[in-house]
Amino acid sequence: MARAVKTRTKLTFTIIGWTIGFLIFFPILWTFLTSFKSEGTAIATPPQFLFFDWTLENYHEVQSRSDYGKHVMNSIVISVGSTLLGLLLAIPAAWAMAFSPTKRTKDILMWMLSTKMMPAVGVLVPLYLIFRDWGLLDTRIGLVAVLTMINLPIIVWMLYTYFKEIPGEILEAARMDGASLAKEIVYVLTPMAVPGIASTMLLNIILAWNEAFWTLNLTAANAAPLTAFIASYSSPEGLFWAKLSAASTMAIAPILVMGWFSQKQLVRGLTFGAVK
């Protein structure tokens, strides 16, 4: 009897869960489907869901107009590069904050977060001038630097909350055993911190991948990532829904697939110290 009830609840939740999941995912699914339609079918009423003439013409069109490969490479280099550089800077800082906290640690942390609230568009001109003088306009290095700085507060904070969960006693014990600082980091801290670092890394790759203000405004031809690629499809003349869908699918597919595959690692550390 209890079993029957359990199965029934399970079935109910299956229906609810799948319905919600489908609804939330629907805009992406719809974009994906539309990318295989002809422009005429894309705008047809009533909408065509599955039974239409599937075509790859939009993808051909998009590829013939812009070099997708180059944009993807730039996106990868910029998002991964800025995340790694960010981790390099943040791991020591977060470690120090978590294990040798002072009275001002919290303030420094909050100050770091508050730098993220500065409206980018207000400082565009100053930064553009700096970039021009240093020859950083339209370079990957320049963008890596900017995105590192933009995401650094989040990285530090995520790592800090994660490191704080690591029980201090273990470190003390290691220290008592005469472990040096380097050893402490390599043998004790790292294994415990890896999940947190991994999910910080993943989250920041996603954030950097989707950053659309600086990546658009500081690049021209050489360093332009996928956000610039999309900007050339946003409202061209004539019917454009299918081409827009194809370009959108191409722009989000890499990060979506990466996100799906690394979902477990992403979630594991995505707690911001919220889980006791």
Partner 1 sequence: MSFRTLLLGAVSTLALAGLAHAETLTIATVNNGDMVRMQKLAEDFTKKNPDIQLEWVTLEENVLRQRVTTDIATKGGQYDVMTIGTYEVPIWAKQGWLLPLDGLASDYDADDLLPAIKDAVSYEGKLYASPFYGESAMVMYRKDLAEKAGVTIPEKPTWDQIAEAAKKMTDKSTETYGICLRGKAGWGENMALLTAMANSFGARWFDEKWTPQFDQPEWKKALTFYTDLMKEAGPAGASSNGFNENLALFQTGKCGIWIDATVAASFVTNPKESKVADQVGFALFPTGGVENHGNWLWAWNLGIPAGTQKAEAAQKFVSWATDKAYTELVASKEGWANVPPGTRKSLYANPEYEKAAPFAKITLQAMNAADTSKPTVKPVPYTGGQFVAVPEFQGIGTAVGQQFSAALAGSIKVDQALQSAQQLTTREMTKGGYIK
Partner 2 sequence: MATLQTRATARLMMSPAVILLFLWMIVPLAMTLYFSFLRYNLLMPGTEEYIGVVNYQYFLTDPAFFTALGNTLMLVGGTLLITVIGGILLALVLDQPFFGQGIVRLLVIAPFFVMPTVSALVWKNMLMHPVNGLFAWIARTFGFQPIDWFAQLPLFSIILIVAWQWLPFATLILLTALQSLDGEQIEAAEMDGAGVFSRFYYLVLPHLSRAITVVILIQTIFLLSVFAEILVTTNGGPGIQTTNITYLIYMQALLQFDVGGASAGGIVAVVLANIVAFFLIRLIGKNLER
Which stretches of the chain bind partner 1, using CB under 8 A? 39-40, 43, 45, 64-66, 124-125, 128-129, 131-132, 137-138, 216-217, 220-222, 224, 228, 231-240
Residue 150: closest CA among 116, 127, 122, 174: 116
Work out the burial of residue 83: count CB atoms within 10 Å of its CB; fewer than 13 is exposed, 13-18 middle, 19 or more buried: buried
Distance in Å, CB of 27 to partner 1, minimum = 18
List the interface residues with partner 2, window 16-35 (CB under 8 A).
Answer: 16-18, 20-22, 24-25, 27-28, 30-31, 34
State yes or no: residue 188 binds partner 2 (CB under 8 A): no
Q: Which CB sits closer to partner 2, 53 or 103? A: 103
Q: Which of 2, 50, 125, 221 binds partner 2 (CB under 8 A)?
A: 125
For 168, the token pair is 């201090």
Q: Measured between alpha carbons, how far is 58 from 12 in angstroms, rounded to an integer?
A: 40
Residue 178's binding partner among partner 1, partner 2, none (Cβ under 5 to 8 angstroms by kind) is none
Going by C-alpha positions, the residue among 87, 84, 79, 83 that lies closest to residue 140 is 79
**Which 70-99 positions form the footprint of partner 2 (CB under 8 A)?**
89-90, 92-93, 95-97, 99
181 lies in the site for partner 2, by CB under 8 A: yes
Among 163, 230, 243, 246, binds partner 2 (CB under 8 A): 230
Residue 226 binding partner 2, by CB under 8 A? yes
52 is an interface residue for partner 2 by CB under 8 A: no
Smallest separation (angstroms) from partner 2 to the CB of 244: 6
Q: By CB under 8 A, how many residues form the interface with partner 2?
A: 91
Q: Is 218 in the site for partner 2 (CB under 8 A)?
A: no
